[in-house]
Amino acid sequence: MLILLRQGKISKWFSGWGQEAISVGTTLAMDNKEFILPMHRNLGVFTTRDIDLYQLFCQFQGKIDGFTKGRDRSFHFGSINHKIVGMISHLGPQLGIACGIALAEKLEKTNRSVLVFSGDGGASEGDFHEALNVASVWQLPVIFVIENNQWGLSTPSKEQFNCKQFVDKGIGYGMKSLQIDGNNLDEVFDSISEIRVKQKQNPEPFLVEAISFRMRGHEEASGTKYYPEGLQEKWRKKDPVSLFEKKLIKEKLTTTEEIDSIKSNLKKQINQAWKKAEKAPVIVPDKNQELNDIYASVNMEISEENGPTKELRLIDAIKEGIDQAMEKNPGLVIMGQDIAEYGGVFKATEGMLEKYGKDRVRNTPLCESAIVGAALGLSIRKRKAIMEMQFADFVTVGFNQIVNNLAKLHYRWGENADVVIRMPTGAGVAAGPFHSQSNEAWFFHTPGLKIVYPSNPADAKGLLLAAIEDPNPVMVFEHKALYRSLSGEVCESYYTTPIGKAKLVKEGNDLSIITYGMGVHWAKSAVEKLNVNADILDLRTLLPLDEEAIFNSVKKTNKVLILHEDCLTGGIGGELAALINEHCFEYLDAPVMRCASMDTPVPFAVELENQFLPLEELDEKINQLVNY
């Protein structure tokens, strides 16, 4: 690999030289049906699991036969057939995913363990602390292996953490810990094997610190000039491959000649696979294929609203949707802060614990990143999860998991990430800057996510049930101020409202008001007060957009106002205005106009919040367009 890197035949390489015993020993100790979540230097995990070298080398070369079709590099991939879930560059999110996979193993009583790696540097990430805490609180059969190789890129351990050893951290999380010689293959294998036996008897997490050394740079380009003189020579004497060879020879289990023969045969296999991969055709870019692979294909049948209805508040419609989904899908798990006994701060899950039990209705610690990761882990194990953000504002703590793991997983290596995240959102309840934000635009920019935003009880239930059936990550924004202030007729039976389809809630010819969520009700009230004959288009789904419905309305009325509660600058309205300008310019009789909240944080005092929201400006914009 180092030679090929220097020849420019691969673009990046993370060497496991000096740490091979950790990867190989842990993987040999695990059953082939047990998941492993590796890191940069864990080539030994992949080879021990008999990954096809041709496909692996295609991955390194960015060929179509690689695991990611040229969309990601090195070990940033997974293979469900090999029970491997690859990392992303952010060092830590895989730890929460391991918790989710382990939760599925525990719920299904498989007696399987899950093993996940972290480097000593990556253990400084918040994801490390969140995942260990969740695993301990939930008593999950996770083996957390910290490869303590003394360095995080060029930063030595003494500048990474101020504790003597990582095993001491286990005490703080209430889990058992073990420090091992990571260069001793037998010790690694025996230790992990023993832990697995214990986890079969009593599911609980373990923290394993494997002491080793990184002989090469973090990646080859960074070099090793920062190492103190003599340090590499000291550790070269502890090289795990050499030590194992000497042991085999000493115990007369093999000979030097047999070792040389094994290496020669391996070299032939490697070279043959590399040459085959080199001859594989380079990727011919196909825009349609790239766009089609953003989402997993949706094969669900739309369940129509059929049968008797009853009047429900928006929060009760959501609650009924969750209840019916839990009944229909025994594998569905709902997770969030205070959602069990307390029923959630908005009572959307009240009574669920008594009906479905603690296994499926799970209170979580305050660690959004780990819980989004756990939901993704459940998805990888083919179980569905609904994760409730207590307030949409708190999503910032789990942002990385959503935009870099959930959103990109299917595009990168074809794995579904069918997680539903409920997002109580919006202002109008005098809750201040950290409980009132409209942050849908943050995710609107991220390919791979789906975003729905219902404006009424019937759509709230139908869109939620559709989100649960969808094999893609769906964010469901629910306006808090509408939870108990808005009621409507809702079909009593199970039904799904199509994702990606807008709804014309009022028809007119004077102008089109394109909006969603609370904006629908503002628009209805304004046109009635002003006696304006307008199309009001409720987008319902923000990603993917129903562009056809938008364009049809604009072409009919020739004037358009885009309305949303989020701040004006950088809001969704800017993208909608650009689309309309690009595709409907010749139909317009007036400039495309936007009406949105002020470009400030959401204030607390009612008077300031009312000024922040676009209510007064809305009437002015409508009159301006009508009279243009």
H/E run at residue 208:
strand 206-211
Task: Give all strands (DSSP E) within 33-165, no chain letters.
Answer: 36-37, 114-119, 142-148, 151-152, 155-156
Q: Give the per-residue pLDDT at 28.
A: 98
For the record, the structure tokens of 531 come out as 């006696």
pLDDT, one tens digit per residue, over 575-614 is 999 999 999 999 999 999 999 999 999 999 999 999 999 9
Determine the average pLDDT of the residues in 382-392.
Answer: 95
Q: Give the per-residue pLDDT at 221.
A: 78
Distance CA 532, CA 552 (A): 19
For the record, the structure tokens of 191 come out as 């230790």
Q: Give the per-residue pLDDT at 210.
A: 96
Q: Do domains 14-49+84-253 and 309-491 have the same CATH topology?
A: yes
Q: Give the per-residue pLDDT at 165.
A: 86
Strand-pair category, 474-479 with 450-452: parallel
pLDDT, one tens digit per residue, over 296-318 is 999 888 888 889 999 999 999 99
For residue 121, is pLDDT > 90? Answer: no
Distance CA 442, CA 453 (A): 14
In the structure, what pLDDT confidence band is assigned to residue 138 with cuts at 50, 70 and 90? very high
In the structure, what pLDDT confidence band is assigned to residue 510 with cuts at 50, 70 and 90? very high
Is residue 166 within 8 A of residue 123, CB to CB? The reply is yes
pLDDT, one tens digit per residue, over 431-461 is 999 999 999 999 999 999 999 999 999 999 9
CATH topology of domain 14-49+84-253: Rossmann fold (3.40.50)
Is residue 289 within 8 A of residue 465, CB to CB? The reply is no
Amino acid at 304: E
Q: Which of 40, 76, 435, 521 is catalytic?
A: 435
Boundaries of every domain in the chain: 14-49+84-253, 309-491, 503-626
Q: Give the per-residue pLDDT at 157.
A: 75
Residues of the chain above pLDDT 70, percent? 100
What is the DSSP code (8-state) at residue 531? T
CA distance readout (Å), 507 to 193, 524, 526: 68, 11, 14
CATH topology of domain 503-626: Rossmann fold (3.40.50)
pLDDT, one tens digit per residue, over 463-506 is 999 999 999 999 999 999 999 999 999 999 999 999 999 999 99
Q: Give the per-residue pLDDT at 220.
A: 79
With a CB cutoff of 8 Å and minimum separation 6, the contacts of 228 are: none
Distance CA 90, CA 74 (A): 14
Whether the CA torsion 461, 463, 464, 466 is positive or negative: it is positive
Amino acid at 603: P
Helices (H) and strands (E) in the chain, counts: 24, 21
Strand-pair category, 419-425 with 474-479: parallel
Distance CA 194, CA 198 (A): 6
H/E run at residue 178:
strand 176-181
In the structure, what pLDDT confidence band is assigned to residue 227 with cuts at 50, 70 and 90? confident
Distance CA 161, CA 29 (A): 30
Q: Is 542 exposed, middle or buried (0-12, 13-18, 19+ CB in 10 A)?
A: buried
Residues in the chain: 628
pLDDT, one tens digit per residue, over 175-201 is 999 999 999 999 999 999 999 999 999
In the structure, what pLDDT confidence band is assigned to residue 81 with cuts at 50, 70 and 90? very high
Q: Give the per-residue pLDDT at 122.
A: 85
CATH topology of domain 309-491: Rossmann fold (3.40.50)
**Mean pLDDT rounded to a whole number for the chain:** 95
Whether the CA torsion 501, 507, 511, 513 is positive or negative: it is negative
Q: Give the per-residue pLDDT at 309.
A: 96
For residue 566, is pLDDT > 80? Answer: yes
Q: What backbone phi and psi angles, to 5 degrees, belong to 567?
A: -55, 155
What is the DSSP code (8-state) at residue 79? B
For residue 231, is pLDDT > 90? Answer: no
| Three-class DSSP labels, 427-486 | CCCCCCCCCCCCCHHHHHCCCCCEEECCCCHHHHHHHHHHHHHCCCCEEEEEEHHHCCCC
* DSSP bridge partners of 207: 144, 177
Amino acid at 463: L
Is residue 100 within 8 A of residue 127, CB to CB? The reply is no
Distance CA 449, CA 437 (A): 20
Q: Give the per-residue pLDDT at 160.
A: 77
- What distance lies between CA 491 and its chain's CA centroid? 32
370 or 224, which is more confident: 370
CA distance readout (Å), 217 to 62, 206, 223, 378: 23, 29, 5, 35
Distance CA 308, CA 303 (A): 15
Distance CA 570, CA 567 (A): 7
* DSSP bridge partners of 151: 156
Is residue 398 within 8 A of residue 131, CB to CB? The reply is no
Q: Give the per-residue pLDDT at 163.
A: 79
Q: Give the per-residue pLDDT at 424.
A: 97
Closest CA to 506 of 534, 545, 525: 534
For residue 158, is pLDDT > 80? Answer: no
What is the DSSP code (8-state) at residue 405? I
For residue 276, is pLDDT > 90? Answer: yes
For the record, the structure tokens of 401 come out as 């998991």
In the structure, what pLDDT confidence band is assigned to residue 217 with cuts at 50, 70 and 90? confident
In the structure, what pLDDT confidence band is assigned to residue 91 with cuts at 50, 70 and 90? confident
Q: How many CB atoms lie within 10 A of CB 301?
A: 7
Largest CA distance in the chain: 96
- Judge whether 218 counts as a catalytic residue: no
Amino acid at 363: N
Q: Give the per-residue pLDDT at 196.
A: 98
For residue 218, is pLDDT > 90? Answer: no
pLDDT, one tens digit per residue, over 521-559 is 999 999 999 999 999 999 999 999 999 999 999 999 999
Is residue 576 within 8 A of residue 514, CB to CB? The reply is yes
Distance between the two ends of the chain, CA-based, in angstroms?
A: 67
With a CB cutoff of 8 Å and minimum separation 6, the contacts of 63 are: 70, 277, 280, 281, 282, 283
Asked if omega into 544 is within 30° of 0 (cis), the reply is yes
Distance CA 448, CA 412 (A): 10
